[in-house]
Amino acid sequence: MKRENGNNRLNRINEELKREISNIINYEVTNSNVTGMVSVTSVKISPDLRYAKVKVSILNSRNVKQTLAGLKSSSGFIRSRIAQSINLRVTPELVFELDDSMEYGEKIDISKYGIEHNRCIDGDLITRIAWKDQELMNFMKVKIEDVPAPSLFGDAEIPQDAILLPNNKFFISAHKKDNGQREFCGCMSAKDVGEYNTCPHLCEYCYANTSKETALANWKCHANNPFAETITGK
């Protein structure tokens, strides 16, 4: 049997640790300081397996520094759980660091390439799709209006910032940025009603899945118990 070389072995361990640490943080860590969406972006273990640098991205947290501190104080618990689930000669000490590459990427001006930053929760897009839902429009404070009849010069006079809809309708954007989000997030104020790591679509850059394998496993749990109180059926 061909022996696994050192680099391949370390890479395999890194991936195993990344997957396991993600699951432990999302489903087992109960430290009240850990808030928001924590994603493990990379793990790099030392050649002697004694230390592992764990980089995390923290989104929608009440306090990013406090969440990072909470992870550091929970490192002993996370390490003990790793020892139970991954067979290693030595269970590494975990060193948590903040990965701010996502925030840095948001600041890059990409308009010169004809690309604009999108919004995950876009009030205008919701209106375009669900403008017939009067209850939702009332809740969002969006007024759907009829395009007026053409003027003597042949053009209908509508406000310059109007957004056209089917059936000769239009609306004026009521989208307002959620001031509680990070600086470059353009999403409107909203509440999550779902659960992380449950969507089976597996979009490559989705913030709601930290692990494709975990998302698929949770989706299968839901399929087996669709009427459970939680999405995962646990």
Angle formed by the axes of helices 212-224 and 6-27, nearest 10°: 50
Paired with 218 in beta bridges are none
pTM of the prediction? 0.56
| Residue 214 burial (CB count, 10 A) | 19
Distance CA 101, CA 93 (A): 24
Whether 93 and 129 map to the same domain: the answer is no
CATH number, position 92: 3.30.300.20
Within a domain: 85: yes
Whether 20 and 92 map to the same domain: the answer is yes
Q: Which domain holds residue 146?
A: 123-172
Whether 10 and 85 map to the same domain: the answer is yes
DSSP 39-89: EEEEEEE-TTSSEEEEEEEEES-S-HHHHHHHHHHTHHHHHHHHHHHS--S
For the stretch 104-148, pLDDT in tens is 777 777 788 888 777 888 999 999 999 999 999 999 999 999 998
For the stretch 20-78, pLDDT in tens is 999 999 889 999 999 888 889 999 999 999 999 999 988 777 788 999 999 999 999 99
**97 and 53 in contact (C-beta within 8 Å)?**
yes
Within a domain: 81: yes
What is the dihedral angle through the alpha carbons of 24, 30, 34, 37, rounded to the nearest 10 degrees?
50
Distance CA 86, CA 76 (A): 15
Whose structure tokens read 């910032």?
161
Within a domain: 46: yes
